[in-house]
């Protein structure tokens, strides 16, 4: 994504320059570690793009963009503890490299660093509204994570409930990122609503697309085991669609599989066969495209600018992604 390199370079340089103290080492070294481990930085890039689309230079939104990225990394540290994940971005997870207590504290510290970044916003930015959008976004992320945890022990999760969950866990921070960029530019309510729609739609599309890539993508490019979500019995958009469409006998069989994890290779093949039999793959592709289309339609309401064109290119890239 050559067109995003200037934004990425700006964000990366500012992230690495955040003055984290040397001591206590157990608090700050894990924070430096996860920042150095990189990432796509999509959320802070969206903050900068949103600010630019609303008529201000991107630099005005830099503190908000850094706050968003620090907050995102805070959630990753804590998510890895809850999921007992051993790796993050191809590196050892923080709680494995150190320990759970250090990881929890480091995550808490990154939350504080995120809030401190917001104090660097210029005086003509409405700090109260930016903070309100940011904090409401964080709370919605927590709600989404709680629902995701509750779903693990339920066999009656619906697709609508799943969309609500990922609307919190995945979309909320993306939506907040874009609204914060708009607020840094002094955008009015109409543009803020459009930014919220774009962010929410992109988040839903991205997560459901992840569910689809789990089954369809080349494992080498995707970086994960093929059908890993099925092996782990995750209630993805595809699985829930299959459970709604299959026979009652099949539904009970698949629920039984998910209650006795992990699934065997034979069981996984049965699930994939059901996806093909009941048109789950094609339905999921249509839903993903519908959310991308919704984001693109809202984006058309903004005036022409380099920032708008870059966001259009980003959406096009996301629609075609293989990882």
Neighbours of 278 (CB within 10 A): 18
At 100 the pLDDT is: 96
Q: What is the C-alpha separation between 66 and 44, in angstroms, rounded?
A: 6
Give bridge partners of residue 87 from the DSSP assignment. Answer: 92
Neighbours of 116 (CB within 10 A): 14
Q: Tell me the whole-structure pTM to 2 decimals.
A: 0.94
- Are 15 and 66 in contact by the 8 Å Cβ rule? The answer is yes
Tally of domains in the chain: 1
End-to-end Cα separation, the chain, in angstroms? 13
3-state SS of 111-138 is HHHHHHHHCCCCCCCCHHHHHHHHHHHH
Tell me which residue of 145, 134, 141, 144 sits closest to 176, measured CA to CA: 134
How many angstroms separate the Cα of 123 from the Cα of each of 132, 225, 240? 16, 48, 48
Q: What is the C-alpha separation between 275 and 288, in angstroms, rounded?
A: 16
Instruction: Please list the ranges in the chain whose pLDDT falls under 50.
Output: none
**Domain assignment of residue 79, given as a range:** 2-319
User: What kind and span of H or E run contains 22?
Assistant: none
At 223 the pLDDT is: 64
Q: What is the C-alpha separation between 110 and 30, in angstroms, rounded?
A: 10
Q: What is the C-alpha separation between 80 and 93, in angstroms, rounded?
A: 7
- Are 173 and 137 in contact by the 8 Å Cβ rule? The answer is yes
Classified as helix, coil or strand, 54 is: coil
How many angstroms separate the Cα of 250 from the Cα of each of 154, 215, 266, 296? 17, 19, 15, 38
At 225 the pLDDT is: 81
What percent of the chain is helix, strand and coil (3-state, nearest 5)?
A: 75, 0, 25
Cis link prior to 262 (omega < 30° from 0)? yes
- Quick: pLDDT tens for 153-172: 999 999 999 999 999 999 99
Q: What is the DSSP string of 224-286?
A: S-TTHHHHTT---HHHHHHHHHS-HHHHHHHHHHHTSSSPPHHHHHHHHHHHHHTTHHHHHHH
What's the CATH number where 36 sits? Answer: 1.10.600.10
- Are 111 and 134 in contact by the 8 Å Cβ rule? The answer is no
153 — phi, psi (to 5°)? -105, 10
Q: What is the C-alpha separation between 82 and 75, in angstroms, rounded?
A: 10
């Amino acid at each position: 994504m050559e067109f995003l390199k200037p934004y990425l370079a700006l964000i990366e340089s500012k992230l690495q320059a955040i003055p984290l103290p040397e001591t206590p080492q157990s608090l700050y070294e894990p924070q430096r570690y996860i920042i150095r481990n990189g990432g796509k930085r999509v959320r802070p890039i969206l903050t900068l793009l949103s600010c630019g689309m609303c008529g201000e230079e991107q630099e005005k939104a830099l503190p908000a963009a850094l706050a968003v990225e620090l907050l995102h990394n805070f959630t990753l540290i804590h998510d890895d503890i809850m999921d007992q994940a051993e790796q993050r971005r191809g590196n050892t997870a923080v709680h494995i490299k150190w320990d759970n207590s250090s990881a929890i504290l480091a995550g808490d510290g990154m939350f504080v660093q995120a809030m401190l970044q917001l104090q660097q916003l210029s005086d003509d930015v409405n700090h109260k509204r930016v903070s309100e959008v940011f904090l409401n976004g964080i709370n919605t992320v927590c709600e989404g994570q709680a629902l995701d945890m509750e779903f693990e022990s339920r066999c009656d999760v619906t697709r609508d409930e799943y969309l609500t969950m990922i609307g919190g866990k995945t979309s909320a921070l993306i939506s907040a990122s874009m609204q914060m960029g708009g607020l840094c530019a002094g955008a009015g309510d109409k543009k803020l609503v459009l930014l919220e729609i774009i962010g929410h739609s992109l988040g839903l599309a991205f997560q459901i697309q992840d569910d689809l890539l789990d089954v369809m993508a080349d494992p080498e490019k995707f970086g994960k085991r093929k059908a890993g979500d099925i092996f782990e019995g995750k209630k993805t958009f595809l699985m829930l669609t299959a459970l709604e469409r299959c026979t009652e006998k099949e539904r009970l069989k698949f629920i039984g599989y998910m209650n006795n994890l992990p699934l065997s290779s034979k069981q996984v093949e049965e699930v994939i066969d059901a996806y093909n039999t009941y048109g789950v793959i094609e339905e999921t592709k249509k839903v993903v495209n519908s959310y991308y289309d919704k984001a693109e339609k809202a984006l058309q309401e903004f005036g022409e600018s380099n920032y708008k064109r870059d966001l259009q290119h980003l959406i096009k890239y996301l629609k075609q992604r293989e990882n």
